[in-house]
Amino acid sequence: MSRVILVRHAQSEANQQAMSLGRLDSPLTDFGMRQAAAVGEALRNETIARVVTSPLSRAADTAAAIAGQHGLVAVADERLIELDVGLLDGIPFKQVQEEYADFLREWTTTEADALPMPGGESILDVAERSWPALAELLQTEDEPGDEAGTTVLVSHNFVIKVLVCLAIEIDLRFWRRFEVDLASRSTLARRRGQVALYALNDISHLRDGLRP
């Protein structure tokens, strides 16, 4: 499979409540369910061969909205789970700012790719475990007009940022230089011996007030 559409999950309850979120299994809000349906509808006419997803419900439910348009069942892959934010998981951003001020200062003023979350993972840790999941899907060349090998991969903010950097050979130090919004689509394909980025953070399908 050579063409991969990376989809960030739709809005979860923790996103809505401005909480720090990693492995906490926060479900989609009603707004998030409408976002997920919009992604599924946008991909309805694509030739999708496979949908893979993080096992967390906010990603799995987004993936189900896409897979259902194609008579598929999304397959969970543990390697696509979000960054383990350790002690910060599930607490409000305001509390993080108050209780982890020293960590946040280092996190926001350095490249931070090797800095682990308190009791959790680093960006480099995410890269090590998640990249093989994408690399397996980008092994063959994509031919113009041939979408028979398209896979939809549904995951999370940090994971998708890492995968985009690695796929197009951008140093992980620069993971902050682009955004990946909730329910966005980014497209990669291998062609002429290398992986190209065809779309990044596409939210054109989020209309009627569904944008982040």
Percent of the chain, pLDDT > 70? 96
pLDDT of residue 17: 97
Contact 25, 156 (CB under 8 A): no
pLDDT higher than threshold 90 for residue 150: yes
**41 has catalytic annotation:** no
Q: Residue 192, Cβ neighbours under 10 Å: how many?
A: 8
- The band of 2, judged by pLDDT with boundaries at 50, 70 and 90, is confident
pLDDT of residue 139: 83
Contact 63, 74 (CB under 8 A): yes
State both tokens at 122.
């680093």
Question: Is the CATH code 1.10.3720.10 the one for domain 3-202?
Answer: no
pLDDT of residue 127: 98
Phi then psi dihedrals of residue 114, to 5 deg: -100, 0
pLDDT of residue 193: 84
Query: What mean pLDDT comes out for the span 176-181?
Result: 97
Contact 212, 182 (CB under 8 A): yes
**156 has catalytic annotation:** no
Residue for token pair 């348009």: 69
Question: Whole-angstrom Cα distance, residue 58 to residue 187?
Answer: 20
Q: Where are the domains of the chain?
A: 3-202
pLDDT digits (tens, 9 = 90+) for 60-119: 999 999 999 999 999 999 999 999 999 999 999 999 999 999 999 999 999 999 999 999
pLDDT of residue 146: 53
Q: Please identify which of the residues 46, 70, 78, 82 carries the catalytic annotation.
A: 82
Q: What is the pTM of this model?
A: 0.95
* CA end-to-end span of the chain: 31
- The band of 141, judged by pLDDT with boundaries at 50, 70 and 90, is low
Any idea which of 82-96, 137-151, 182-196, 197-211 has the lowest mean pLDDT? 137-151
Phi then psi dihedrals of residue 50, to 5 deg: -160, 145
Q: Long-range contacts made by residues 158-163, C-beta under 8 angstroms, separation at least 24?
A: 158/82, 158/83, 158/123, 158/126, 159/54, 159/80, 159/81, 159/82, 159/83, 159/126, 159/130, 160/6, 160/8, 160/186, 162/123, 162/126, 162/127, 162/130, 162/131, 163/6, 163/130, 163/131, 163/134
pLDDT of residue 95: 97
pLDDT of residue 145: 54
pLDDT higher than threshold 80 for residue 38: yes
